[in-house]
Structure 1
Amino acid sequence: MTSSLLTDLYELTMLEAALEAGTADRRCVFEVFTRSLPEGRRYGVVAGTARVLDAITDFRFDEKDLRYLRRTGLLKESTLDHLAQYRFTGDVHGYAEGELFFPGSPVLRVEDTFAGAVMLETVVLSMLNHDSGVASAGSRMVTAARGRPCIEMGGRRVHEDAAIAAARSAYLVGFASTSNLAAGAHYGIPVAGTAAHAFTLLFDTEADAFRAQITSQGADTTVLVDTYDVEQAVRTAVDIAGPELGAVRLDSGDLLEQAPRLRTLLDSLGATSTRITATGDLDEYKVEQLAQVPLDGYGIGTKLVTGGGHPAPGFVYKLVEREGADGQMHPVAKKSTGKSTQGAAKAAYRLLVGEQARAELVLPGPDEVAEFERELTRELTRADASPEWARTSLRPLQVPLIEAGEPVGPTRPRERLAEARHRHAESVAELGIAADAGPDGPVAIPTLTDGTQAARALD
């Protein structure tokens, strides 16, 4: 199956009208960005880029696609002939996957003719919005966990394909493993899982269930202990497995109250190395509340894979520059109330002082970048210049992703995911947010769109 029909009809009707008007071949620049972050979010995480690149390179209309479109009767034969020959041959630049984004960050830039770029809108936004929504929520959960491993286990709460993408996004931002076997097989993500309440209920006694599980999986397994009486279940599990019991899992009840008592009980039974894992409708707020409780890991599902209440970051795909009748490129922007955009293709940088991020610098074209550099030089030579200026640098955020229709860089799924995971950890560290600061707070750094304004941001 190709990715061509993962789009909206109006992309094709716009294409048809542009073909007939003679404007379809005008060079265009589209950008993907969001206007704001959800209340309380300090940053967002770019995820899904690798899937987007695959979708773009696979975006072509085969005979089956064309037969369907012909049956609809909505497009002319000349348009179908054009679609039959379609291949994306343009360029794509964007934030490397795993990077952080802020309001106005141009996370993706697509450059091609109008005919080449306009049809990609829906598939690009559907993947970036979904995967970035999961990653943005998951990153907050990993921070709240303070180094305790998190398992992604939300596959039963979303569409089966979305479950794989969600597991990938969760691993990208630091989750240790997933319960989803398809995600493990395709992306090499470690998989985890032992038994559910149904397994315990299958047996005549809880002891029979634990004995069967431990015999099958070994003493290092994780036993679910809240089917009946928690403390009795722990005693039974340790009696069967011995002090080498791997872990016990709590899936209900007051974790703040239960976990300390459980730790004390395990230690009294000699099971001092047995871990306690918590599951049960967790999110970053609940994980934060458990920071001082003797837990060793978390299993997180629904709140993760649905974006923690914000399933889509609100990315839009907007035309910001296009070729005019004079053959020159011109910035364009909508002026709608509350939805205005800034024209021109933009360059993006992270403004750093040493290793600390201070601002997101989004400048419309090389002239603004040059103005920033001139202003920075002037500030550096001031007699009263702050010593911080000498440690100031710009980290470019946009990298080539597709050039002349061909992907740039690694194409193997596991290699791309490993790079994105590493990049995310480095980008979060640049913000310098303390783990005990709590999940919510103001946007971590401002987005600056003026070179002079940006150069004075350190004063």
Structure 2
Amino acid sequence: MTASTALLTDRYELTMLSAALRDGTASRPCVFELFSRRLSGGRRFGVVAGTGRLLSLLRDFRFGDDELRFLRDEGVADAETLRYLEDYRFTGSIQGYHEGEIYFPGSPILTVEGSFGDAVVLETLALSVLNHDSAVATAASRMSIAAGDRPLAEMGSRRAAEQSAVAAARAAYIAGFDATSNLEAGRTWGIPTMGTAAHSWTLLHDSEEDAFRAQVAELGVDTTLLVDTYDTAEGVRTAIRVAGTELGGVRIDSGDLPLVAAEVRELLDSLGATSTKITVTSDLDEYAIAALAASPVDSYGVGTSVVTGSGYPTASMVYKLVARQDAAGSWVGVAKASADKGSQGGRKAAFRSLSNGTATAETITVSDGFEPLGAAVPLSLVEGSDFPDARPLQVTLVEAGEIDTAYEGAAGTERARAHHLQAREELPVRALALSKSDPAIPTVFLDVE
């Protein structure tokens, strides 16, 4: 039996639900929006990731006997609320940015429409998934840009919680990484896996040569040998003596990487191993990768930095009520008005404004409400002299409770990866810089009332 995801939530959501059932507002039609007020760390763009995982988790958002018993025994929910939750199944609609899409401050990344009771309980699940995965994907995309055509492998499982590691591997793959060391990510999401040996393999054997001979015997000469357990130069010589000049690769995991990579390349070439590739690891981030751009490096392995968002492990997304029906059945835009946490009320439709194929603005139309959710503002409203071309950014993920399966599983992951690479091609050149700055394009809100 599949485990329920319903308790991956905060208590205050059920507290609000109980009160809303009591005062009659639980059935009031509402629109919630997941967005980020700002880009973490002075990044110039963000990357949406986690949508496919969220949809899979939403399928199992059910309150079974065990969950209901816990809520009753802990006094979290009264009898009326327990009856409501016993039959809970999200029956509303969800629109969102395609997974892998680029986003900016104010982008309506996810729009959830349903009754207050149905939609409010999804807040924590949606935020925990998209905040984590989008932070990882944003960092991974920056690393992919820095790496250029050189392959990237995600190797951070030992630096993350076990399930977070699987999610991080998926997010990194969507944003441009080519493989992961995590086998569960390979099984669940169809991501290519890689991995050879650690320093412990060399230390296990009586000599470095014995370790290399055993590895080559098992994996063939196409394998990659870790050459810096003892003396790097001697390790390279031993590797070529054991495997021959057709050795697939060597890995460097320590030292001044630009200098060591140059020395290793020169030594390999002098030994006749001109086709043997060099992989570097050792606490890489986007800045270290960029610094290696001119070095004779063929691929990178990244661990801690990518699974922790390269210093920014959350995307700072929030989930807010932006529109609701009043007692008369009319739609009303609502928003928090705090000075430092204000937001834009009303239902949104989002477009990427383009000029000759390059993004110029995140154009968002705003209204108190439309019926139904899918009835977005016509594209013509954002076309004209200021916005000569615009690409719609939102897709329907859930309609009347039915989840679109195209965004789930291994196929959905590949689809998100392909979409990200296409969306990244639209970014202006200034978006590709690694330094802290304002968002690469402005977010423009247009009132359509």
Q: CA deviation at 1:298?
A: 0.4
Structure 1 residues 367 and 226, CA, compared in 2 at 3 Å: closer, same or farther?
A: same
For residue 6 of structure 1, the aligned residue among 8, 12, 15 is 8
Kindly report which structure 2 residues correspond to 1:42-121, keeping only aligned pairs within 5 A, or say none: 42-121=44-123
Q: Distance in 2 between matches of 1:371 and 1:73?
A: 48
CA contact (8 A) 1:140 1:439 kept: no
CA contact (8 A) 2:431 2:440 kept: no
Structure 1: stretches of 5+ with no match in the other structure: 381-388, 453-459
Q: Distance in 2 between matches of 1:99 and 1:250?
A: 34
Q: CA deviation at 1:40?
A: 3.2
The residue aligned with 2:36 is 34
- RMSD between aligned residues: 2.0
Structure 2: stretches of 5+ with no match in the other structure: 371-375
Structure 1 residues 431 and 110, CA, compared in 2 at 3 Å: closer, same or farther?
A: same
Q: CA deviation at 1:376?
A: 4.8
The residue aligned with 1:189 is 191
Kindly report which structure 2 residues correspond to 1:117-156, keeping only aligned pairs within 5 A, or say none: 117-156=119-158
For residue 445 of structure 1, the aligned residue among 423, 441, 446 is 441
Q: Distance in 2 between matches of 1:127 and 1:415?
A: 19
- 2:62 alignment partner AA: R
Q: CA deviation at 1:371?
A: 10
Q: CA deviation at 1:38?
A: 2.2
The residue aligned with 1:158 is 160
The residue aligned with 2:19 is 17
Deviation by residue 1:236-264 (Cα, 9 ceiling, x = unmatched): 11011000111100000001111111101
CA contact (8 A) 2:350 2:362 kept: yes
Q: CA deviation at 1:442?
A: 3.4
Structure 1 residues 19 and 435, CA, compared in 2 at 3 Å: closer, same or farther?
A: closer
Partner of 1:399, secondary structure, is strand
The residue aligned with 1:415 is 411
CA contact (8 A) 1:57 1:406 kept: no
The residue aligned with 2:270 is 268
CA contact (8 A) 1:349 1:396 kept: yes
CA contact (8 A) 2:49 2:134 kept: yes
Q: Distance in 2 between matches of 1:299 and 1:281?
A: 9
Q: Does 1:359 align with 2:361?
A: yes
The residue aligned with 2:390 is 394
| Range with greater deviation from structure 2 (166-175 or 52-61) | 52-61
Greater than 6 Å deviation, 4+ residue runs: 366-372
Q: Distance in 1 between matches of 2:9 and 2:434?
A: 39
Deviation by residue 1:106-143 (Cα, 9 ceiling, x = unmatched): 00000000000000000000000010010000000000
CA contact (8 A) 2:428 2:440 kept: no
Q: Distance in 2 between matches of 1:451 and 1:322?
A: 17
For residue 317 of structure 2, the aligned residue among 309, 315, 318 is 315
Q: CA deviation at 1:20?
A: 0.3
Q: Distance in 2 between matches of 1:348 and 1:396?
A: 6
Q: CA deviation at 1:39?
A: 3.5
Q: CA deviation at 1:208?
A: 0.8
Q: CA deviation at 1:408?
A: 2.1
Partner of 1:139, secondary structure, is helix
- 1:430 alignment partner AA: E
Q: Distance in 2 between matches of 1:53 and 1:436?
A: 30
For residue 286 of structure 1, the aligned residue among 282, 288, 299 is 288
Structure 1 residues 264 and 89, CA, compared in 2 at 3 Å: closer, same or farther?
A: same
Q: Distance in 1 between matches of 2:327 and 2:11?
A: 27
- 1:236 alignment partner AA: T
Q: CA deviation at 1:57?
A: 2.6
Aligned residues: 441
Structure 1 residues 370 and 90, CA, compared in 2 at 3 Å: closer, same or farther?
A: closer
Q: CA deviation at 1:412?
A: 4.8
CA contact (8 A) 1:143 1:435 kept: no
TM-score by length of 2: 0.95
Q: CA deviation at 1:375?
A: 8.0
Q: Does 1:427 align with 2:429?
A: no
